[in-house]
Amino acid sequence: MENTTQRKFGLITTIAMIVGIVIGSGIFFKTDNILAAVNGSVFLGVLAWALGGFGIIFGGLSIAVLARCDEHVGGLITYCEMTWGKQLGYLAGWFQTILYYPALVAVISWVGAMYMSLLFDWTNPALFFGLSVGSIPEWVFPFNLTQWILTLIIFVFFFLFNLFQTKAAGKFQNISMFTKLGALVLLGFLGLFFGDPAAVNHVTDLGHIGAGFFAALVPVAYSYDGWQVAPSITHEIKNPKRNLPLALTFAPLMIMLIYISYFVAINAVLGPEQVLALGDGAVSVFAEQFLGPIGYRIVLLAIVISVLGTANGLILAYIRLPYALGVRNEIIGAKHFAKVDEKTDVPMFAGLFTFIVSLVWLFLHFAATVGVIHLNWTLFTGINVDEIAIILIYLFLVLIFMGIIKEFIHGKITSKLEGLIFPLLAIFGALTAIYGGFLNPSVAIYLIISIVAILSGLLVRPKK
């Protein structure tokens, strides 16, 4: 198991890694985006959710084939190496380390702070944590300073938590999973059994599926993103050849069923028109109808825990990536990245590196939001940092799935179901996400940033 000494995580924690990272804020604040893209058609919305779920289910089944064969540190790095060699493995690891993970960590920390501000009524930018601080001119802080301080607190706390309390971080992941599942299952049950079926039983003519439906795949892909993170902790999973494939099989199916149930339920209760009108506030109104005024707070608390669970899981996995590159001597200063602290059983140097890279991306997210809106930083207009890596990360997955088919053709994988059918269906699901990514108005700049990230990796890769 390389330089680590303990297998800390069991099957439940591994499932919680997948469920806890995937089910974050997306299901709550992307529902109206998906509905808007399909012109209020609940049927097409369900179809989009199902298509996205279809992709991650067969993606998980395909990755599980490789997970049973190798428990080497690195996750997707390992699977790229197994199918196409060390060059692709390195590029996948570098891209995730420098762009994919840190951008997600930055944005999810901010989203957690946003919902925490709503929970405690700290949304007034003129107040500091709900308190008056005197007559500070608006031009000094023309944005919600409380929310950004909360973002930093969440950001720093979960890095420290995962560096010094790894086992506790794994337990928090379990708590987060059961909290978010409880909230979503409760709302889904109430909506499905007490909502109005007439609001959702209209079936759209399939001949009218067009660009809007495929545009809905962009927020769907965002909401499902993260399922591929769990393999990065393979070397710390107990009995990984059994537990990781099981987690990759059951977690995606569970996520898809919960997403579809919630989507149908909220539309059955409020109706598509009201969901569209309320936007991100629809979930609070939905909860309040069944649980009363306190329902608003309960749901916001569940969302906060849900998002914090996503941040925790991402950081837990992210710290292991530069460590995996260090073990392979594929990063400058490899011996430092590969060193594991004896007391915490965590690669501390890798943790510090990921903290700094994520901090840079947090600033870029600040620039693309507050900078554009309040400070006239037009250079960052139209950029959502959490969407930049979607096309490339799914492209890496497509290559892995193609590699599994190659292994089947060469006779190294004997099962036709696992070596051909599963990866073909996974490729179809991944290509729908890639197609949806190309519909993004900022796709050109996203591709340029992604390609620059890849090329920078080739430039700094240590020579053998």
| pLDDT, one tens digit for every residue, the chain (464 residues) | 445 546 767 888 888 878 877 887 678 778 888 888 888 888 889 999 998 888 888 988 888 888 777 667 677 898 899 999 999 999 999 999 999 999 999 999 998 998 898 888 887 777 777 666 655 555 556 678 889 999 999 999 999 999 988 888 878 888 888 888 888 888 888 888 887 766 666 555 555 566 678 778 878 887 887 777 767 676 777 887 788 888 888 888 889 999 999 999 999 888 888 989 988 778 878 888 877 878 778 888 888 988 898 899 899 889 989 999 999 999 999 999 999 988 888 899 999 999 999 999 999 999 999 898 888 898 888 888 988 998 999 999 999 999 999 999 999 888 899 899 999 999 998 888 888 788 888 999 999 999 999 999 999 998 86
- What is the phi/psi pair of residue 122, to 5°? -105, 40
Tokens representing residue 331 in the block: 């990063």
What is the model's pLDDT at position 444? 93
Q: What angle do CA 165, 166, 172 make, to 5 degrees?
A: 90
For 85-101, letters b (16+ CB in 10 Å) and e give eeebbbbbbbbbbbbbb
User: What's the alpha-carbon Rg for the chain, to the nearest Å?
Assistant: 22
Q: In angstroms, how far is CA 395 from the centroid of its own chain?
A: 16
What is the model's pLDDT at position 6? 65
What is the model's pLDDT at position 110? 94
Residue at 392: amino acid letter: L
pTM assigned to the model: 0.86
Architecture of the structural domain at 11-460 = Up-down Bundle (1.20)
What is the model's pLDDT at position 137? 58
What is the model's pLDDT at position 361? 97
Query: What are the domain boundaries of the chain?
Result: 11-460
